[in-house]
Amino acid sequence: MPSAFRVEPGGRLTGSLRVPGDKSISHRAIMLGALADGVTEVTGFLEGADAISTMNVFRALGVRIDGPRNGHVTVHGVGLHGLRGTEAALDCGNAGTAMRLLMGLLAGQRFASTLVGDESLSRRPMRRVAEPLARMGADIETADGTPPVRIRPVPKLQGIEFRMPVASAQVKSAVLLAGLYADGATSVIEPAPTRDHTERMLEGFGVQVRREGGRVTLQGGQRLRATSIDVPSDISSAAFFLVAASIAPGSDLVLEHVGVNPTRTGVLEILRLMGADIEVLRQRAVGGEPVADLRVRAASLRGIEVPPELVPLAIDEFPALFVAAACATGRTVVTGAQELRVKESDRIAVMADGLRLLGVDAQPTPDGMVVQGRGDAAQVFGGATIESHGDHRIAMSFAISAPRASGRLVIRDTANVATSFPGFPDLASRAGLSVEQTDA
């Protein structure tokens, strides 16, 4: 049955809360744990639909995985060459990260595989991963650049030096995972920094990874050793509450145990440039990943031109940042974010449509958006029914506009919120918003 959020206007965010585990790290923990020798214990695992899809793919490939139980997962690794092929298609659901990383991981196997996904994932581009893998000797076929993806075995992959035309952590990760199965060295050169969870976790599993500036290199044939992984809270999920508390008068909220990997903190830097009051507390390292508590208090935001170097470091957080921009005084300009057009939805077009429906001057551009903020208004947004187009980040972004809305918001097609943030309505309500899951 279709689902929706019914969001009442107003609210302020107070107290402390912990958002679910990091989705990017949860995906990789299952993948690398499966390829390792020995048993990997994972805590803080995100029990969302996307990460569960990754888990089910590896079960289909012959890996025993126990859990999840309250965020705890046990992965019984089969080693670098221990996966078993299956004639059944491997269903990635809505998980674009899973599909793209699996393309690299499966390219070096001795069996054929077919990767499929849901309707949304079946429209997303896979050619930018398939092309560098083909340069390594992989035999990969797509449906005119989109899923299903068919991967056939080849005698051996060859290491390459790949200079990425566009910064993408998923493309980088796919090439590095294929590099584990390749002869010689595989190097990826980034045009701008992207999230480095794959490199950090490979090192945690005992793989030697050389990082020099924008170049990442590993030698093929290295074996992985099982380890323990504590998944921090997802900063992409925390971003919704960082924005909501910043725009809601009287808010004072602490977000606990948030991953603050420097390749993921673009949202913090952008919000601070806009005048947000965010304090980083209790910084520490957990399993090689930096973690901290974040205290955020209401603040008067100002419009900015987002520095281009921060865009790749906050690409998933821009739907929420567009809401912040609407509540700022002055104009906010985002450029260089064309990747937003090929996410679960065209996030530039969908956010601009929704913001205009709520009374905000938001002009989409080919690679970003120009938002004329209404920060001088107590109520920035009107009440309306918004179409999320099945995109979890769109749905949650409009839900957090409630503190500055004048009327009820109904956000349709919200079932996919469970892919990244199970329990979002309940947690938002605990924090001080009024978000109710309903049948549309």
Q: Which residues are catalytic, by number?
A: 316
Task: State CA 232 to chain mean position distance.
Answer: 13
What is the CA angle 145-147-148, rounded to 5?
A: 125
CA distances from 253 to 21, 61, 236, 297, 395 (A): 18, 43, 16, 6, 22
Cis peptide before 68 (omega within 30 of 0): yes
Burial of 366 (0-12, 13-18, 19+ CB in 10 A): exposed
Q: Which two tokens stand for residue 27?
A: 């995906």
Q: Which two tokens stand for residue 304?
A: 């900015």
CA distances from 232 to 19, 21, 172, 239, 287 (A): 9, 5, 22, 14, 9
Task: State CA 1 to chain mean position distance.
Answer: 26
Count the neighbouring beta carbons within 10 Å of the beta carbon of residue 330. 15
β-bridge partners, 76:
39, 64
β-bridge partners, 381:
405
Helix axes 235-247, 392-399, angle to 10 degrees: 20
Q: Which two tokens stand for residue 31?
A: 């993948």
Count the neighbouring beta carbons within 10 Å of the beta carbon of residue 416. 26
Spatial distance between the Cα atoms of 242 and 258, rounded to a whole number of angstroms: 12
